[in-house]
Structure 1
Amino acid sequence: MEIIRALEEMSLLQGLSPQELAGLARDAVWKTFAPGEFVFHQGDEARRFHVLHSGMLKLFRSTAEGRDQTVYLVEQGDPFCLCTLYGAKVLPVSALTMTACEVIAFSGESMARQLRLSPQVLLNIVLVLNTRLMHSYQMIEDLALRSIHQRVASFLLHAVRVRGEAAPRVTLSVSRQEVAKILGTTPETISRVLARLCQDGLIEARGREIVLLDYQGMVDAAG
């Protein structure tokens, strides 16, 4: 029953009947993870579609030289491993928990079958894929065309907009080390850029809390 209630709360599955939800629940596996645990590794067999019920985790790619690039932060309610729905044989990323997490996993086959039967859920998946694609485009543009100063300013602006804060402030949900991995740089560089933004009167930094003092100035800094 707990899994069914969790499925009913997922915006991704809106439009499914109680019978269809019960069918998915029979195949679902509920897993709990402590902070710092791997849900799966890059290169593992692509078998299951996942939804994060609670917590936060990151998806990242590793190079042969041992460098990691964070590609997406998964938050409560977000689906991941969507590649299992369109025939991927292996997983292109690793998933590492950043907090205690609860994950619901379905077989890729059962979820793909449900998509064929439910146009609404298929549309929901398409919307998720569109959002992820736009995120990927933005990441490519940032890494290839923007300076690290511009990338940090853009990251902070995006964080404020996504969280819909009443005031132009945001409490970073990840450490500066993780921000560095997202932006393709080092924690020391992140600290230097934040210090420069503070000196320029654009922000005020208090640990993980960032207050935007000059919103338009930050927009200009982001390029």
Structure 2
Amino acid sequence: MKNINADCSVCTNSNCFIKKHLHLEKMQDYVMQKINFSCKKGQQFMIEGAPMQGLYFIFSGKAKVIKTGIYGKEQIVRLAKEGDTLGFRGFGTKNRYLIAASAIEDTVLCNFSNEVMQGILKNIPEFTYDMMLFYAQELNKSENNVKKIAQMNVRERVIDALLYLHKKFGQSNGLIDITLSRKEIADFTGTTDEQITRILSSLKKEGLIKIVEKKIGLLDTEKMQREIIEHK
């Protein structure tokens, strides 16, 4: 990773947890201690089981969060974009990352060390309270995802994933603004490359999606939502 400068004062990520709290007293003192890195596409910046190196906030770019399952199979548990927070699941527990993360495209990261984050949490009550709410929201999302995976068939999981990608990353020129391989989609939906190829082909024939190289565009989100409405 290469050190660069990404100034919080000019950051446009309104959803960034740090950006939301820049107005708080003492916050600027801690922001001055952050470190910025740039990662190339495919570069891993968090290693599962490695000692915590603080929290990461995405300044620009996109990343995937990975958990190793049975027989060493990777499962993508989360996809992140500008403003998202990474590494929080291991923070304050065993002080080891419970997941791994790598850049999907060239990405710039803001890193707040363990010591800096502990200083913020101990000295800025409003930030600490909001962080507690953030953890509660993330736990609720995780529980809902477990329920959906248990109840949905493979086709429904793929449709749900496509709708999630559409909502989170938006569409540019009619295509979802993130490029994922068939394997990455399979790792995200808990299925195989072959099943992903077959289901995407079926959805394309039905006129629900279009495919341009590795990118996918949704053509009828309402019909896709109706197919999985009972799981919402």
TM-score range, shorter chain: 0.7 to 0.9
Q: Which runs of 5+ in 1 are unaligned?
A: none
Match of 1:91, as an amino acid? Y
What is the aligned counterpart of 1:143 among 135, 149, 160? 149
**Matching of residue 12 in structure 1 with residue 17 in structure 2:** yes
The secondary structure found in structure 2 opposite 1:204 is: strand
CA drift at 1:38: 1.3
The number of equivalent residue pairs is 221
**Matching of residue 219 in structure 1 with residue 225 in structure 2:** yes
Aligned in 2, Cα 1:45/1:7: closer, same or farther, shift over 3 Å?
farther
More helix by share: 1
CA drift at 1:149: 0.5
Q: Which runs of 5+ in 2 are unaligned?
A: none
Q: Distance in 2 between matches of 1:83 and 1:202?
A: 36
What is the aligned counterpart of 1:209 among 200, 216, 225? 216
What is the TM-score with the length of structure 1 in the denominator? Answer: 0.83
The secondary structure found in structure 1 opposite 2:80 is: strand
8 Å contact 1:70–1:182 — kept in the other structure? yes
Bigger shift: residues 128-137 or 50-59: 128-137
CA drift at 1:91: 1.0
Counterpart in the other structure of 2:99: 93
CA drift at 1:200: 3.1
**Matching of residue 82 in structure 1 with residue 88 in structure 2:** yes
Superposed counterparts of 1:109-148, under 5 Å: 109-148=115-154
Runs of 4+ in structure 1 off by over 4 angstroms are 163-169
Q: Distance in 1 between matches of 2:104 and 2:98?
A: 19
**Matching of residue 185 in structure 1 with residue 191 in structure 2:** yes
8 Å contact 1:149–1:221 — kept in the other structure? no
The secondary structure found in structure 1 opposite 2:115 is: helix
CA drift at 1:132: 2.4
8 Å contact 1:30–1:103 — kept in the other structure? yes
**Matching of residue 104 in structure 1 with residue 110 in structure 2:** yes
Q: Distance in 2 between matches of 1:22 and 1:175?
A: 40
What is the TM-score with the length of structure 2 in the denominator? Answer: 0.80
The secondary structure found in structure 2 opposite 1:51 is: strand
Q: Distance in 2 between matches of 1:117 and 1:135?
A: 28
Counterpart in the other structure of 1:41: 47
Q: How large is the RMSD of aligned CA atoms in angstroms?
A: 2.9
CA drift at 1:2: 4.3
8 Å contact 1:48–1:84 — kept in the other structure? no
Q: Distance in 2 between matches of 1:65 and 1:84?
A: 22
CA drift at 1:206: 3.4
Among the aligned pairs, what percent are the same residue? 20
Q: Distance in 1 between matches of 2:56 and 2:162?
A: 28
Q: Distance in 1 between matches of 2:212 and 2:21?
A: 43
Q: Distance in 2 between matches of 1:204 and 1:84?
A: 38
8 Å contact 1:42–1:61 — kept in the other structure? yes
CA drift at 1:93: 0.7
CA drift at 1:204: 3.4
8 Å contact 1:7–1:21 — kept in the other structure? no
